[in-house]
Amino acid sequence: MAELTKGYFDQKLKNLVTQTGLETAFDKQAGMIKRGFDETASKIGLKSVESRLTGVEGEMLKVHDRLRTVEDKLDRVLYKEIDRIEVRVKAIEQKLGLKTA
């Protein structure tokens, strides 16, 4: 059996954390946490982004309304054009003596 001397324990336990090593590890951890908080968005920054997004949302609603107006006008134009074409086809069918529905 090995003799339990200071040298024995120093050799076996040399990889354990020392007070200085522990303080260094805590300092490193504190620095990492501080950097994390420094890089986190602030409440003021988030309010600014929220405000800008609200503005973008309003503009998108305006574009949506304008698009709906264009679609409605296009539908009316297409309906009128189809109606005119049907009248012309019926007139052609009558001139050719074809049976129309």
The model's pLDDT over 7-55, given as tens digits with 9 standing for 90+, comes to 777 777 765 656 777 778 788 889 888 888 777 777 777 888 888 999 9
Q: Is residue 83 in a domain?
A: yes
Q: Which domain holds residue 46?
A: 21-96
Residue 15 confidence (pLDDT):
58
- Six-digit token string for 65: 């309304």
Q: Is residue 31 in a domain?
A: yes
Per the confidence metrics, is the pTM higher than 0.85?
no
- Closest to 87 in 3D by CA, of 72, 74, 95, 71: 95
Q: Is residue 52 in a domain?
A: yes
Residues 6+ apart with CB under 8 A from 25: 17
Q: Is residue 8 in a domain?
A: no
